[in-house]
Amino acid sequence: MKHDKAIAKVLKRRSEFTLPDGFNSRMMEKIFLAEAKKKRQAFILNICLISFVSLSLIAMAVYLLWDSLSTLTFRTPALHITSEALSQYGFCFYIAFLVMVLFGLDHLFRSRWHKKRFKEAGH
Amino acid sequence: MDNRDELQIIERIRQGETNQFSYLLNRYSNVIYSLIARIIPSKEDAEELTQDTFLKAFRKLDTFKGDCSFSTWLFRIAYNTAVSATRKSKIVFPLIDETMLARVADEEADAVFEEENEELLRKLEIALEKLNLEERALITLYYTEDKPVAEIAAIMELTADNVKIKLFRIRKKLYVLINKQQAQ
């Protein structure tokens, strides 16, 4: 690639481009400000991220709890008592009652018999 | 400060030693300003764009992978910053008829640009003002900063062949612009 003398000379002799005094120190101040802003943004981003993750976890826990409780309710069988079943239940209660009456009578007769034996033995 | 020292300084800045950025500023602020001032007409704008370049470089320092030199990376940011600024301000550069450029033989341009008489240099100075931003950036990097074609290609995100073609085209354009001045 050719390096033309005339072009190079014109470009180099054009006004010297130098930055004003104090540019670098002013620039460093801006860099420090940019760094502080960067840190602040990172902090806010972290807070947002942590809040988002925490809220998501809480929401998930609530949802899972709610879901499992509603499933439990769902699984509880509903009682549908038909007339046929009701007569069966009635018969069962009747037998149970009869058994209780018989146990009661048994207890009564036994206690009377024991009392009678006790009186005969005392005399 | 060689390339390795520079990479160490960059690493220290990344780890929080922000004051180390002043080494990079002292080393590159004037060359970056010089590039921008040569491609942007206003000196005030050039100073502001130099600031923007360094702020962008600082903010994006984590993205610098070291696959090219820091200066190439910084020049690329400066060039892109200048390009975006001119897009916003909508500066209009004069167009030149492509057929006129096609008619110019390389030897003709070679002969003219080998001369160094004052008249030619004055005309060349006027012609340089009529180049567009990309052309100004190309010749500044090639003739003033003495950057090799491969590095210019990396800065301007072009291929090396494309850079060579564009440089040849700029020479022809300057030749046509000088001839136009003579005709007037």
Domain boundary among B27, B59, B89: B89
pLDDT of B23: 93
For residue range A63-92, list pLDDT tens digits in order. 988 888 777 665 656 667 778 888 888 899
Q: Flag whether residue B139 sits within 8 Å of chain A, measured between CB atoms.
A: yes
Q: Which residues contact A85 (CB under 8 A, 6 or more apart)?
A: none
What is the DSSP annotation of B93-109?
PPP--HHHHHHS-HHHH
The helices-and-strands tally (H runs, E runs) of chain B is 10, 0
B33, B110, B112, B113: best to mutate for the A interface, most A CBs within 10 A: B113
Q: Are residues B83 and B8 part of one domain?
A: yes
Amino acid making up residue B29: S
Q: Are residues B126 and B79 part of one domain?
A: no
Q: Are residues B83 and B117 part of one domain?
A: no
CB contact under 8 A, B54 and A3: no
The alpha helices in A1-123, defined as continuous H runs, are 5-13, 23-75, 83-122
Evaluate if residue B149 carries a pLDDT over 90: yes
Domain boundary among B36, B59, B89: B89
Closest residue, chain B, to A17 (C-alpha): B34
Q: How many CA atoms lie within 13 A of A20 on its CB side?
A: 9
Compute the distance between CA of residue B20 and CA of residue B10 in angstroms, rounded to an integer: 8
Cα–Cα–Cα angle for A101, A97, A104, rounded to 5 degrees: 20
Q: B18 to chain A: which residues are within 8 Å by CB?
A: 31-32, 35
Query: Residues of A numbered 8-27 whose beta carbons fall under 8 angstroms of chain B's beta carbons: which are they?
Result: 8-14, 17-20, 23-24, 27
Q: Are residues B115 and B176 part of one domain?
A: yes
Average pLDDT over residues B130-147: 90
Closest residue, chain B, to A26 (C-alpha): B51
* Closest chain A C-alpha to B89 CA, distance in angstroms: 22
Place of tokens 């910084």: B74
Average pLDDT over residues B77-102: 79
| Total domains, chain B | 2
CB nearest B113 (choices: A7, A18, A30)? A7
Going by pLDDT thresholds of 50, 70 and 90, the confidence category of residue A122 is low
Q: Are residues B166 and B112 part of one domain?
A: yes
Q: Are residues B83 and B122 part of one domain?
A: no
Q: Are residues B64 and B43 part of one domain?
A: yes
For chain A, domain boundaries: 23-76, 81-123
ipTM > 0.85? Answer: no
Q: Residue B147: which of A75, A3, A56 has the closest Cα? A: A3
What residues make up the domain containing B166?
Answer: 98-183
Q: Flag whether residue B21 sits within 8 Å of chain A, measured between CB atoms.
A: yes
Q: Are residues B64 and B122 part of one domain?
A: no
Closest residue, chain A, to B117 (C-alpha): A6
The CATH number of the domain holding residue B31 is 1.10.1740.10
CB nearest A17 (choices: B37, B51, B54)? B37
Q: Are residues B81 and B109 part of one domain?
A: no
Compute the distance between CA of residue A87 and CA of residue A81 in angstroms, rounded to an integer: 10
Compute the distance between CA of residue A69 and CA of residue A87 in angstroms, rounded to an integer: 35
- pTM more than 0.80: no
Q: Are residues B43 and B109 part of one domain?
A: no
Q: Are residues B18 and B66 part of one domain?
A: yes
Q: Are residues B84 and B7 part of one domain?
A: yes
DSSP code of residue B93 = P
- Annotate A12-26 with b (16+ C-beta within 10 A) or e (fewer): eeeeebebeeebbee
Q: B144 to chain A: which residues are within 8 Å by CB?
A: 8, 11-12
The CATH number of the domain holding residue B157 is 1.10.10.10
Domain boundary among B89, B109, B128: B89
